[in-house]
Amino acid sequence: MSVLDSKIPKGPLADKWTNYKNSINLVNPANKRNIDIIVVGTGLAGGSAAATLAELGYNVKTFCYQDSPRRAHSIAAQGGINASKNYQGDGDSDYRLFYDTVKGGDYRAREGNVYRLAEVSGNIIDQCVAQGVPFARDYGGQLDNRSFGGVLVSRTFYAKGQTGQQLLLGAYSAMNRQINRGKIESYTRHEMLDVVIVDGKARGIIARDLVSGKIERHSAHAVVVASGGYGNVFYLSTNAMGSNATAAWKVHKKGAFFANPCFTQIHPTCIPVSGDHQSKLTLMSESLRNDGRIWVPKKLEDAKAIREGRLKPTELAEEDRDYYLERRYPAFGNLVPRDVASRAAKERCDAGFGVNKTGEAVYLDFGSAFMRYGKEAVATQKIENATDAQIKALGQKVVEAKYGNLFQMYEKIVDENPYETPMKIYPAVHYTMGGLWVDYDLQTTIPGLYAAGEANFSDHGANRLGASALMQGLADGYFVLPYTMGDYLAADIRTGAIPTDSPEFEEAENKVRGQLEKLMNTNGTKSVDHFHKRLGKIMWNKVGMSRNATHLKEAIEEIRQLREEFWKDVRIPGEMNGMNTELEKAGRVADFLELGELFAKDALHREESCGGHFREEYQTEEGEALRDDENFMYVAAWEYNGDPGTEVLHKEDLVYENIEVKTRSYK
């Protein structure tokens, strides 16, 4: 086991990034024209990186498995993006955003990276406004803000309930400009299946054209992996069905360390599971917790009556409702961080207070918001003797203006009107804080291979605060990689084009072809989805919201057995040399079957509870996460050596010089 060097610059925290930029090597514009960069993934992180690097003059190739970069899963982000501009005048600052992010991550994040994230956050908003992103504005025309969980200020910029879509369109338009200039070659419906290492450096990738089935070689002087997270290892998650970990897992098997895989976020505000027929879950934005109050019945008999359809939630008196987050966490109330809210919902449902047929749902109720906003509208419109019905109707119009598309989406899926009946929500797998280990430059343990956005681990610790994913992805792409990659690429200005006929490319292509042929030739009896669903049930039941040593050991063994069965009994119809979506899925599930074992192994080794990682053996009397700072204040980075079960642990010690590490409390 080794101790990893994160290469954090020396000096005061607020000066690290500035001093770094002042001392790095640069590539002049004429030389940038001779350097090639590959970007895998075209969501917010990959799209912004590709657009900015091409704008600087580099030759960029982008790869995505979708038919358009516009279909990246970043589009599904709803609630907003954080930035410390302090437009509300409520005490926000770069330091406050930095502090909230580190505290929210349960003191398992890296100080230098997180402060840089806060420092550039304001620039992101300026960039996106210049691109035409239609952020919401207040009555005076200023950009509006709202609150998200884990903070006491309003710093979240938003575009109704479709912020991710609008931000992605901004990055996509910037990409298109560079495609039109010939500086970006866009490869859609292509999937990266391996990275090519030449003389110890990442020098290209092997990709498969998902339409023709052709296996292709692509070379570059550096490679960026921005392919998102691995939440679909659980099968049911809020991720798009196609979201996968193949790019990250392939580079891991080539030598890039994988950090903190057990740090996975369970989002508290999702539409509950309705049956075995589902292939994914739907997220309801955390922004709804600004105005929605979460509750369950106080009495078990009332909860049972609601489940059986004998009682409607609107018929339950206020004094018979348990607003459990407000009761347990009065300072933050419904805006506690996601891990806290998720565990609290599970605890209430496990105790028998769940409100849907499965017993796994709580209410998100906007009744109070309707009346509050309605009374404001009555006052401003000078309406005299308004009835409660009038007040409620006026309040509903205000809520509709803020969240209308989310309410509409909920009604289409659930077939209930959330303006009349409280929403039902339950936690679901959402975001992964773990990912490829990177240093301050966002470079992995393979020189020339970078990871950005959700594909890396660097900024969120053990729990991501809401609205920080968009911030990190765009910070990495627009404002970090263009500097750090230039410092690395300055040594390549005389290298020339990287040939693709080298033995390294030949070996990598043959390896990819061999695995595809092995999958096609298995000729088993069960579908890919059969194995994926079984993996998901193991992960959710034994490596999900709460974990213990017994279940984790069982999960490791069960996943290993399932992987062996997969390679003996999976059946893939169709042909290899052509469009074959089952073959695509099979390769991704094969990777999940390895990643799942490492995930459980990491959770077993971390004998503490922190953020999204909750070990039942390590909790306070009140059921809160109990950290072990003395023994586990480090990043766990795993090195592949041929088998997920025997991966080697490396540590990066976390040092806090600018924040007092203390018990995380939201009471």
List residues with catalytic annotation.
338
**What separation in angstroms does the CA of 354 have from each of 231, 303, 360, 495?**
25, 7, 5, 63
- Quick one: tokens of 16? 């690290």
Amino acid at 430: H
> 10 Å Cβ neighbour count for 321?
18
Task: Quote the DSSP letter at residue 260.
Answer: -
The whole-angstrom separation of Cα 279 and Cα 264 is 19
**Spatial contact of 600 and 555, defined as CB atoms under 8 Å apart:** yes
The Cα–Cα gap between 63 and 37 comes to 11
Quick one: which of 74, 161, 149, 39 has its CA closest to 469?
74
**SS3 category, 239:** coil
DSSP 399-466: HHHHHHHHHHHHHHHH-S-TTTS-EEEEEEEEEES-EE---TTSB-SSTTEEE-GGGB-SSSTTSPPT
Q: What is the per-residue DSSP string for 456-498? A: B-SSSTTSPPTTHHHHHHHIIIIIIHHHHHHHHHGGGTTT-PP
Q: In this structure, are residues 469 and 455 in contact, taking their beta carbons and an 8 Å threshold?
A: no
Helix (H, G, I), strand (E, B) or coil at 642: coil
Provide the token pair at 360. 């796994």
- Class of residue 83 by CB neighbours under 10 A (exposed 0-12, middle 13-18, buried 19+): buried
Tokens of 459: 């900024």
Q: Give the separation between CA 492 and CA 498, rounded to whole angstroms.
A: 11
Alpha-carbon distance of 591 to 280, in angstroms, equals 19
Give SS3 for 427. strand
Q: Which amino acid is at 242?
A: G
Helix (H) or strand (E) holding 44: helix 44-56
For residue 83, give the DSSP letter. Answer: -
What is the C-alpha to C-alpha distance for residues 667 and 664, in angstroms, rounded to an integer? 9
For residues 407 and 126, give the distance between their C-alpha atoms in angstroms, rounded to a whole number.
29
CA distance 174 to 42: 12
Output the six-digit token pair for 259. Answer: 């950090």
